[in-house]
Homo-oligomer: A and B are copies of this chain.
Amino acid sequence: MAKDIIADHARWPRLEDEIFKVNKECKEAIKAKGRDKVIDSTLGTLIDDDGNLIAFDSVYDTLKDMDKKSIAGYGAIEGNEAYLDLLIDNCFGSYKPDAYIKAVATAGGTGAIRHSIWTFLNQGDYVICPNWYWPAYHTMCEEFDREFKTYEFLDEDFNFNLEEFTNTLDFALEKRDRVLCVFNTPANNPTGFSINDAMWDRILDVIRKRAVSGKFICILLDVAYIEFAGDGSQKKFFQKFSSLPENIITTIAYSMSKSYTAYGIRAGACIIISSNEDIANRAFDSMKHSNRSIWSNITHAGMNILVDIESDEKKKKSYEDELIANRRLIEKRASAFVESAKEVGLIHLPYFGGFFISIPCENPKEVAEKLKEKDMYIVANKNGLRFAVCAVSEEKCKISPKLIKEAIDKVNK
């Protein structure tokens, strides 16, 4: 490429938005044929059975009751104190690790992932990640000149593939002194898989052994879907991040997007966990410096919403009721899908919670194309299809596996 005004490191082809494209087609189909005739599995937000985005009353009533001055004013660069304190409590539930814990407010979970990749890696260091992943991880590695290396997520028995993880970690640490391991769990996007507590012990054993002098390992837990992954016990694994050696640091990308149906509000935090107080503080300093350099401060109303709800028992009760009702809604939809899949012999990755179920298959793009003939619109990724239980009614979840199975068989016959 000829030298021009855009610096080499910043040259990227226009980000294709495959989801946006298929979503547009789907909308046209709904217009032409009616909503009840079409299965819309394109979205990544909670949608009710009538196709409307679910926005919790508890959250938006709080926003509408808010003093306009406290929406208008700047928040603190690092995030408001009450927000960060309550968010930490929220995130860990009863399972706060025994360690030094600090948090920095970020624009959604995205910002927290950005901060972790930025602060703990140099250019050329590796982010290692399962091969079923949220594509933005890869985009960030491009942007910041980090290497992105994936490994086979699950073994033949659909357990977390510890061997592949270990090999990839060893590869990264042989090449470089720093590595970041990203785990999108519980309720992984795009699969709904959760790493169980026994497997976490084994993963942490592997990591601990490799944290020899001169090597630095960051464990990034992207828990975007955690509030849709169980009734609280899904947070138990957090306790395992206690008393790790100080060349291991854990960060958590906590987002209000899903848990408060506040996708468009852009509020979250990067929670830092270290057994060394000084390291936790200096990681905080680094991320505060990043905040000032990219967005100054985050949406004040978002921080206020969390504080107002979590510090008012009545509001908190209303919020939790809505959360639980919607978690149940998804659970029912997912059960319907899983049951039907069993009946028709459709293989999918194990689902433990969250917004999506993944179906591994050959030629996923062609399969997704084929499904349009049956008025189903679904996102294809590298290894299969992403079915959105967050967006498809129970009734339609029931009939979808058969349609998917038939399309896979037709395309890959």
A residues whose Cβ falls under 8 Å from a Cβ of B: 3-15, 17, 20, 44-45, 52-53, 55, 57, 59-60, 63-64, 68-77, 107-108, 110-111, 114, 118-122, 136, 139-140, 142-144, 178, 214, 216, 218, 246-249, 261-266, 274, 279, 281-286, 288-290, 292-301
Contact = CB atoms under 8 A, between A and B. Distances in A.
B77 A15 contact: yes
Contact of A12 (B52, B71, B285, B301): B285
Contacts of A71: 55, 60, 63, 264-265
B296 A299 contact: no
B45 A263 contact: no
Given A8-B122, A55-B68, A72-B261, A297 B266 contact: yes
B6 A120 contact: yes
A3 B74 contact: no
Given A5-B120, A286-B12, A266 B298 contact: yes
Given A64-B64, A73-B263, A110-B295, 4 more contacts: A6-B119, A12-B289, A140-B292, A143-B293
Contact of A295 (B7, B72, B107): B107
A40 to B, nearest CB: 14
- The 3 A-B residue pairs with the shortest CB-CB distance, nearest first, are A264-B300, A107-B295, A55-B72
Given A15-B285, A74-B264, A266-B297, A7 B114 contact: no
A296 B264 CA distance: 10
The copy count of this chain in the complex is 2
B301 A265 contact: yes
A315 to B, nearest CB: 16
A14 B68 CA distance: 31
Given A111-B295, A295-B108, A68 B60 contact: yes
A299 B17 CA distance: 19
Contacts of A110: 292-296
Given A69-B53, A263-B74, A289 B6 contact: no
B218 A5 contact: yes
7 contacts: A4-B282, A7-B120, A107-B296, A114-B294, A136-B296, A139-B292, A143-B289
A333 to B, nearest CB: 20
Given A3-B214, A279-B4, A286-B11, A140 B293 contact: yes
A329 to B, nearest CB: 16
Nearest to A8: B122
Nearest to A282: B6
Contacts of A294: 107, 110-111, 114, 143, 294-295
B5 A249 contact: yes
B69 A7 contact: no
Contact of A266 (B5, B44, B120, B299): B299
Given A264-B299, A293-B139, A294-B110, A286 B55 contact: no
A265 B55 contact: no
B53 A7 contact: no
Contacts of A263: 72-74, 300
A109 to B, nearest CB: 9
Given A64-B64, A246-B5, A296 B108 contact: yes
A7 B136 contact: no
B5 A264 contact: no
A246 to B, nearest CB: 7
Nearest to A67: B55
Contacts of A63: 68, 71
B72 A289 contact: no
Contacts of A3: 214
A45 B60 contact: no
